[in-house]
Amino acid sequence: MHNVAGGARKPLTLRFAVNGRRFCPLRQLPRCPTVKLDVAAGALLLVLLFQAPDFKGEGIKALESQRYEAAAESFTKAAEADPKDYTAHFHLALAYSLLHKDPEATAEYKKTLDLKPDLYEAQLNLGILLLRQKKAAEAAPYLESAVAQKPKQYRPQLFLADALLATGDPAKAEQHYKAAAEIDPKSADAQLGLGRSQAQQNSLTDAADHFRQAAQLDAAYKDALLELAGLFEKNKQPSEAIVIYEQFPENVAAQERLGELLLEAKRVAEAIPRLEKAVQKDPSPANRLALATAYRLNKEPKQALAQLEKASAADPGSFDLHMMYGRSLRDERQFPAAAREFLQAAKLKADNKDVWNELAGVFYLMENYPQVLAALDRVKALGQEIPGDFYLRAITLDKLKQYEPALQSYQQFLAASNGKNPDEEFKARQRVRIIRKELSRR
């Protein structure tokens, strides 16, 4: 019998007996020894045999020639002709699975096991098929039965481990991955499974060895090391993750993440070339933002601004990018350009107090005092004023020589600040004293 992942047993050969003697299969009759038969009886038997369609034989031939639709048709007819023929249901299930008709294949494997409960190939194939359908809990009992029948076989051990891991039993999964690895020491799948099961049990040091073994056994599994790097990050081990990401110089995502981790580790000079390479291969706003951050930390403001400008232009609907670019422009004292970015951000989120506070601040630096008050009025309308807003309003009104409202704002600031901003509070008290004198002269 066949199983889902390949391999086949030699199909049973049809034999028949006449007058108590056993003869060769029908298709081999021309080569059989000469036998004395009753002519009439023999002729009738041959006619009947030639007339009876061999659905299973046709199905086997279709399977072997990879004509799976034809195979399914033949085995369907065979199963209809004899509903209790478990081999017909088994091969029909196999044909369906090769056609990726998983629900139909599942039903036929279950019929097979109803007729032949201990059929190892059906148990294994059904378990694998259910795994393919993400039904690990349903697959596990069939795979356990297959392992019980043939504990020294690699495939049932491996797939049972996969099912157990998927159902949240990493400890038991680890046992079966170990069994699979002992049966086939060169199995990258078994080593990777061991790594994953141990990682889920918080044994990351042991797990890492198995991830590395999987990558050594099969180059196709090298990307699994990126999964290990993610586990190291989750476990607050960035240094180990950095070592792995360094092994993937052509992987844009890995280089981007490497640059970010190097930035977090204050290894800015090392981060920049990685992030530059990431931008070259994928000039996304996120990559440009990371590179801009590195440039800023490395005291290269012009390069940082260039990246932020391109990032903001590439994603004009990003509120955060406009805010970041605006703040960077403000820090470089490019106030009109900063104001333009903040205004773009305000169009995107008019109910955000931070953008109006930023606008108020940059307008003050530009000495555009009416616009400062207009921006502060938007904050007030949102009901989100803080002590700094009262102070900025006070000094702006003071600049405009609007002393009475300035005095009121200074007093609001002092009441709200209450010792939290000692330098500004000292200045506010001085201005309150001076303004009161000025007003008393009038």
Residue-level pLDDT, tens digit, the chain, 442 residues: 544 443 333 333 223 232 333 333 333 333 333 333 344 444 444 444 455 589 999 999 999 999 999 999 999 999 999 999 999 999 999 999 999 999 999 999 999 999 999 999 999 999 999 999 999 999 999 999 999 999 999 999 999 999 999 999 999 999 999 999 999 999 999 999 999 999 999 999 999 999 999 999 999 999 999 999 999 999 999 999 999 999 998 898 898 899 999 999 999 999 999 999 889 988 999 999 999 999 999 999 999 999 999 999 999 999 999 999 999 999 999 999 999 999 999 999 999 999 999 999 999 999 999 999 999 999 999 999 999 999 999 999 999 999 999 999 999 999 999 899 999 999 999 999 999 998 888 7
392 plus 441 within the same structural domain: yes
Q: How far apart are CA 324 and CA 328, in angstroms?
A: 6
Last residue of a domain, one of 370, 395, 415: 370
361 plus 412 within the same structural domain: no
Give, to the nearest 10 degrees, the angle between helix 403-417 and helix 422-440: 150
In a domain, 199, yes or no: no
DSSP-assigned states of every residue in 177-210:
HHHHHHH-TT-HHHHHHHHHHHHTTT-HHHHHHH
How is residue 305 written in tokens? 């601004």
How is residue 431 written in tokens? 């201005």
Element spanning 22, H or E: strand 21-23
* Phi then psi dihedrals of residue 58, to 5 deg: -65, -40
In a domain, 23, yes or no: no
Q: Which amino acid is at 145?
A: S
Predicted local distance difference test score (pLDDT) of residue 440: 87
Q: Are 225 and 247 in contact (CB under 8 A)?
A: yes
Q: Are 78 and 63 in contact (CB under 8 A)?
A: no
Among 342, 344, 346, which residue's Cα sits nearest to residue 366?
A: 342
Scanning 382-421, the segments in alpha helix (DSSP H) are 387-399, 403-417
320 plus 364 within the same structural domain: yes
125: left (phi over 0), alpha (psi -120 to 50) or beta: alpha
363 plus 392 within the same structural domain: no
How is residue 109 written in tokens? 């494997």
Query: Which residues lie across from 18 on neighbouring strands?
Result: 21
In a domain, 100, yes or no: no
**Total of domains in the chain:** 2
Among 204, 224, 205, which residue's Cα sits nearest to residue 214?
A: 224
Instruction: Return the SS3 of 301.
Output: helix
Q: How far apart are CA 260 and CA 278, in angstroms?
A: 11
In a domain, 82, yes or no: no
Task: Provide the CATH number for the domain around residue 353.
Answer: 1.25.40
- Determine the structural domain holding residue 424 and report its residue range: 386-442
Query: Counting every residue, how long is the chain?
Result: 442
In a domain, 167, yes or no: no
Among 381, 325, 337, which residue's Cα sits nearest to residue 356?
A: 381
Predicted local distance difference test score (pLDDT) of residue 50: 53
In a domain, 281, yes or no: no
Predicted local distance difference test score (pLDDT) of residue 52: 59
In a domain, 403, yes or no: yes
Give Cα 19 to chain centroid, integer Å.
68
In a domain, 206, yes or no: no
Element spanning 15, H or E: none
First to last CA, the chain: 109
Q: Are 429 and 413 in contact (CB under 8 A)?
A: no
406 plus 356 within the same structural domain: no
391 plus 365 within the same structural domain: no
What residue has token string 């590439």?
314
Predicted local distance difference test score (pLDDT) of residue 53: 81
Q: What is the pTM of this model?
A: 0.68
390 plus 357 within the same structural domain: no
Q: Which amino acid is at 157?
A: Q
* Phi then psi dihedrals of residue 18, to 5 deg: -130, 130
Q: What is the CA radius of gyration of the chain?
A: 39
Residue 430 CB partners (closer than 8 Å, separation 6+): none
Among 232, 226, 233, 270, which residue's Cα sits nearest to residue 250?
A: 226
324 plus 362 within the same structural domain: yes
